[in-house]
Amino acid sequence: MCGIFGIFGNSEASNLTYLGLHALQHRGQESAGIVSADGRTFHVRREMGLVQDVFGARHLEALAGRAAIGHVRYSTSGVSQHKNAQPLTVEYSLGKLAVAHNGNLTNAPQLRAELEQQGAIFGGDSDTEVIIHLMARSRAPTLAKQMVEALAKVQGSYSLLFLTPTAIVAVRDPHGFRPLVLGKLRDATVFASETTALDLMGATLLREVDPGEMVVVDDMGMRSSRPFPADRPTRCVFEHVYFAKPDSDLFGASVYMTRQRFGMQLALEQPAAADLVIGVPDSGIPAAIGYSKASGIPYDVGLIRSHYVGRTFIEPQQSIRHFGVKLKLAAVREVLKGKRVVVVDDSIVRGTTSRKIVTMIKAAGASEVHMRISSPPTRWPCYYGIDTPRRAELIAATQPVEEIARFITADSLGYLSVEGLGAAVGDPESKTFCMACFTGKYPTPIRNVEDEAPVRAAARG
């Protein structure tokens, strides 16, 4: 889970990258970094923390140049380290190179072992370093050709932005797992994980960088090529379900409208006899409104989200505990009191948060709680960059729906079907989206799925 941004051809490249990363902050809150290029050398800042905390006015001033790339990163396993903050910067035979990566390589451990056998040294844990080593070992004469050679060897997901002192190269893997769009801001070319970053600065969306496409931008202009063998695109449906910002257009469709369609389809598949529909903020809201529209049950706001729960919040120890979700969400008693409530959320992972939410809503006076999930049961880990726990921790991997309902203390529980999900994203036969987290059908070879622990989760882009 990461966000990337790049711009070529604007004298305020680093300022705009800062704004772009701010718009992508929901894709990663652990570290933030910008590398700018002034035609001759790089200027670098990357630190642990939020975009607004990492960059002050004097840092942005020092990031000189008309080109820049940036990265925000999320880490889950607690192994959050400065050495994994991106963009990575290296020097090698063709000179200076910086890279920002969103995605996860499924054959990174094997490639890394092979490279180490050949004498490579690694400074961090990230898959991204594997790509750079493969490039550095290529005998190809140009950066672009080295990239093609290197990327032909990797499997998995990657939306990549490379920066040299004089150019930006954007590449997206042939399956197009992770998003990447191309835009224009006056004379400058802009790349971003999501369109919300373009909207913020008034840039025009041109199109997606296509799955398997490579785009080079430098002072000579922009060239596109498709150097990889064609493959079936399988974009990540979970970006629509949960991860992307609702005002973004993702893979050509509005995230907000897609989520609302999930809710409408969910109402058809999983009706409920209820007085009220509420959503779990933030990602459950659009689906809740969709559920309300399709079911005719009135929508209202039953949970208020706090704007002030950040990374540094200390949960007092001792006898006071289990505040968890209450620090973030507060129930609106007068809305819920005595009501049969449909609660729409985007997914259930371990079930513990849902259980707390149901408890809170009942404590506020709801007479019945009918939990409705705007995606199918999450039964398989993701190997393409979404952070999910091992199978054993996914409640839906081991428990039937009725058992989950009992665990979360809901009066009923209903999930959207895989077919319904597909219909809502315009892919009824699950052909153009990756839905492996729901179906277990991984579009690329994964070795030993059942046992594989996300051992390098910390370093996933």
Of 314-343, binders to its own copies (CB under 8 A) are: 314, 316-320, 323, 326-327, 330-335
d(C-alpha 331, C-alpha 325), whole Å: 11
Candidates 28, 211, 284, 286; binder of its own copies (CB under 8 A) is 286
**Residue 149 or 210 having the CB closest to its own copies:** 149
Say if CB 100 and CB 83 are below 8 A apart: no
Number of residues that bind its own copies (CB under 8 A): 82
Is 2 a residue of the active site? Answer: yes
| Distant-in-sequence, close-in-space partners of 144: CB < 8 Å, separation ≥ 6 | 169, 214, 216, 225, 227
Q: Does 432 bind its own copies (CB under 8 A)?
A: no
> Of residues 39, 252, 298, 400, which one binds its own copies by CB under 8 A?
298
Q: Which residues contact 332 (CB under 8 A, 6 or more apart)?
A: 301, 302, 303, 304, 364
Q: Let me know: does 412 contact 358? Beta carbons within 8 Å.
A: no
Q: Taking the complex as a whole, how short is the minimal distance between the CB of residue 123 and its own copies, in angstroms?
A: 5
**Site for its own copies contains 206 (CB under 8 A):** no
Residue 90 or 349: the one with the smaller Cβ distance to its own copies is 90
Closest contact distance (angstroms) between CB of 31 and its own copies is 13
As given in the structure block, the two tokens for residue 192 are: 């971003």
Residues 133-162 close enough to bind its own copies by CB under 8 A = 133, 136-138
Window contacting its own copies (CB under 8 A); options: 296-304, 344-352, 383-391, 432-440: 296-304
Options 2, 382, 434, 437, the catalytic residue: 2
Opening angle at CA 25, ends 24 and 31, nearest 5: 120
* CB of 288 vs its own copies, minimal distance in Å: 10
Distances from the Cα of 136 to the Cα of 93, 109, 119, 132, 455, angstroms: 7, 18, 12, 6, 26
Instruction: Tell me the torsion sign for CA atoms 71, 144, 442, 113.
Output: negative
| Encoded tokens for 52 | 């607004």
| Rounded to 5°, angle at Cα 297 from 293 and 302 | 100
Question: Smallest gap, in angstroms, from Cβ of residue 175 to its own copies?
Answer: 26
From 83-91, 102-110, 170-178, 453-461, span contacting its own copies (CB under 8 A): 83-91
- The distance of closest approach from Cβ of residue 414 to its own copies in the complex, given in angstroms and rounded to an integer, is 23
Q: Which residues are catalytic?
A: 2
